[in-house]
Amino acid sequence: MFKFTEEQIKRYARHIILPEVGGKGQEKLLNSKVLVVGAGGLGSPAIFYLAAAGVGTIGIVDFDVVDFSNLQRQILHDTERVGIPKVESARMTVEKLNPDVKVITYNTMLNKSNIMDIIKDYDVVLDGTDNFPTRFLINDACYFANKPLVSAAMLRFEGQITVFDFRDKEHSPCYRCLFPEPPPPGLVPSCQEAGILGSIGGIMGCIQATEAIKLLLGIGEPLVGKLLIMDALSMDFRKVKLRKDPSCPLCSQKASIKELIEYEQICDVHF
């Protein structure tokens, strides 16, 4: 039986008193592993709250460095860290917040030759990336590896999030059920072109962390088969039902995609 230290009992007290979590649930979190791809506007709040919750191992993938333009929304980083790799800045923040958490950093760009090896040991994957080719690569890799995927996106004053639980491929749709292929270049504006309200990342990233924790604990109803859409200007939240596409090139009986595809990095949509 797991024995919490006195400090851990104090740290996680508000979790432990929740009937849905309790001591067993907190022990499960401490033994869980979550991979977050992108330490930016979405990944920052998600990583913060996963670490605060006591998720025992957090993997962080990002190959960028901290820039002044990031600080408006990427709360893992600060002014003194401008110019250093985002994964290192993220590690420093998490280690100060919670010494229970082991941080594994991947200062690299995901590609079809490394993604399967990176995701294989994690229980849940969070997609906080800023380009369509990587989003499709993550979706396909999680599908082939049977990994649950929490996917979010944001632009201007809007955000959206869904969960693809590839442990149950029969019932869960995938990202390609929404978009069979990446859109043509220039169709979707980047955040550099269209802008983004920084706090949108906080909202969507926190929801990502919450969905990941629900998946790890097996509680509640994760957003599988549902797309949650937020409009911050009206503060409207609505859910759209997602169904498996019977002609999906990845997850249907007519699937034509049998291995990872690496699309050219030309569709930049900063989140």
**Tens digits of per-residue pLDDT, 194-238?**
789 999 999 999 999 999 999 999 999 999 999 999 999 999 999
- Is 190 a residue whose pLDDT tops 70? no
**Residue bearing tokens 């019932």:** 171
Res 222: pLDDT: 98
pTM: 0.94
Distance of CA 147 to the CA centre of its chain: 12
Average pLDDT over residues 38-44: 97
CA atoms within 13 A on the CB side of 11: 18
Q: With pLDDT > 90 as the criterion, what percentage of the chain qualifies?
A: 88
Please write the tens of the pLDDT for every residue from 115-147.
999 999 999 999 999 889 999 999 999 999 999
- Is 160 a residue whose pLDDT tops 90? yes
- Is 171 a residue whose pLDDT tops 80? yes
Distance of CA 31 to the CA centre of its chain: 19
Average pLDDT over residues 19-30: 98
Which residues in 51-72 are b (16+ Cβ under 10 Å) and which e? bbbbbbbbbbbbebbbeeebee
Reported as a pLDDT band with limits 50, 70 and 90, residue 105 is: very high
Average pLDDT over residues 31-40: 98
Would you state the structure tokens that stand for residue 239, as one six-digit string? 């859910």
Reported as a pLDDT band with limits 50, 70 and 90, residue 184 is: confident
Q: Which residues contact 150 (CB under 8 A, 6 or more apart)?
A: 124, 125, 126, 127, 161, 163, 208, 211, 212, 215
Reported as a pLDDT band with limits 50, 70 and 90, residue 33 is: very high
Type of residue at 132: F
- Is 96 a residue whose pLDDT tops 60? yes
- Is 84 a residue whose pLDDT tops 60? yes
Please write the tens of the pLDDT for every residue from 144-158.
999 999 999 999 999
Neighbours of 218 (CB within 10 A): 10
Dist. CA 102–CA 113, nearest whole Å = 25
Report the DSSP beta bridge partners of residue 21. none
- Is 12 a residue whose pLDDT tops 80? yes
Residue 21 phi/psi, 5-degree rounding, is -110, -70
**Residue bearing tokens 């979010």:** 152
**Residue bearing tokens 């025992």:** 56
Domains and CATH numbers, the chain: 25-241 (3.40.50.720)
Average model confidence (pLDDT) for the chain? 94
Residue 134 phi/psi, 5-degree rounding, is -70, -35
Dist. CA 162–CA 231, nearest whole Å = 15
Average pLDDT over residues 64-77: 97
- Is 268 a residue whose pLDDT tops 90? no
Please write the tens of the pLDDT for every residue from 253-267.
999 999 999 887 643
3-state secondary structure of 117: helix
